[in-house]
């Protein structure tokens, strides 16, 4: 199977974590990713770690995309960060509204990701390939499904080149989202975000928080395995590989893997798919 793939990492918090991530990246580079993205903490709290990790990936000869959030940010601050990334040789950004650190009021000069996308375009022209987030199962804070779709279309029309979705396990939600967005004139590629299943309690907790639905049949099977991590991983590999197969058969533009800073779960899916 030939399909462009990319991997997401989060900035490590300790020197041991940084060493481990270097090993993980080398293992995943074997799959020739189109790029690797690095996440950004609430309110830009991990900015130094994000930019540092992005710099390492570029130095390893791989294209890197920095996540970039704008909540609580000023235009002057964003302008400075864009200049830093440009000087580092970054050509790709994942532009997000982002979360406020707890205890902060709103503030900042950007209300929505679409404001950030428009600002980046105005400031830097076509220098950056801009990715935005898409929510096939609706953003957890959206007023309604229609409002969420409209917010996505606004981001695309502000100048996004493509989108990466929140992870999902129901391919119908993805296909419906893409169709609905196309009808509203948002025709950029929408890349499915893929989350390997390796730990049931962590996955269920994470999914409840970010609004990704774990279908009842998957939830019940995972709960039925209890603490049997071998069975959870084998079942998860089957489920996620089948999902990727369906998406590939339908002609998705690429797959973006949420690695959670581990190589083995993502490599197992890629091997099974023959990527």
**CB 12 within 8 Å of CB 261:** yes
Cα 145 to Cα 106: distance, rounded to the nearest angstrom:
24
**CB 170 within 8 Å of CB 133:** no
Distances (CA, A) of 21 to 44, 119, 257: 20, 32, 15
The residue count for the chain: 275
**CB 195 within 8 Å of CB 167:** yes
Q: How many Cα atoms sit within 13 Å of 122 on the Cβ side?
A: 10
**CB 94 within 8 Å of CB 119:** no
**CB 251 within 8 Å of CB 178:** no
Count of beta carbons in the 10 Å neighbourhood of residue 248: 17
At CA 213, angle to CA 210 and CA 214, rounded to 5? Answer: 120
Give the residue numbers marked as catalytic: 8
Reduced to 3 states (helix: H, G, I; strand: E, B; else coil), residue 274 is: coil
């Amino acid at each position: 199977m030939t399909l462009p793939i990319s991997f997401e990492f989060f900035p490590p918090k300790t020197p041991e974590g940084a060493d481990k991530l270097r090993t993980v990246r080398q293992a995943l580079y074997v799959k020739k990713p189109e790029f690797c993205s690095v996440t950004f903490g609430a309110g830009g709290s991990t900015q130094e770690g994000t930019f540092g990790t992005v710099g390492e990936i570029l130095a390893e000869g791989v294209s890197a995309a920095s996540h970039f959030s704008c909540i609580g940010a000023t235009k002057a601050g964003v302008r400075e960060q864009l200049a830093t990334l440009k000087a580092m040789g970054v050509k790709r950004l994942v532009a997000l509204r982002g979360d406020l650190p707890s205890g902060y009021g709103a503030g900042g000069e950007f209300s929505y990701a679409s404001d950030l996308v428009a600002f980046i375009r105005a400031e830097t022209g076509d220098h950056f390939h801009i990715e935005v987030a898409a929510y096939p199962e609706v953003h957890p804070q959206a007023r309604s499904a229609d409002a969420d779709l409209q917010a996505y279309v606004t981001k695309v029309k502000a100048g996004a080149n493509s989108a990466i979705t929140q992870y999902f396990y129901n391919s119908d939600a993805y296909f419906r989202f893409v169709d609905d967005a196309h009808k509203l004139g948002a025709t950029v590629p929408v890349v499915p975000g893929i989350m390997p299943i390796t730990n049931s309690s962590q996955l269920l907790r994470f999914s409840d928080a970010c609004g990704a639905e774990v279908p009842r049949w998957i939830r019940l099977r995972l709960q039925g395995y209890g603490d049997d991590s071998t069975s959870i991983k084998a079942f998860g590999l089957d489920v996620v590989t089948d999902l990727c197969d369906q998406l590939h058969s339908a002609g998705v533009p690429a797959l973006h893997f949420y690695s959670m800073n581990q190589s083995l779960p993502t490599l197992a899916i890629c091997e099974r798919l023959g990527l």
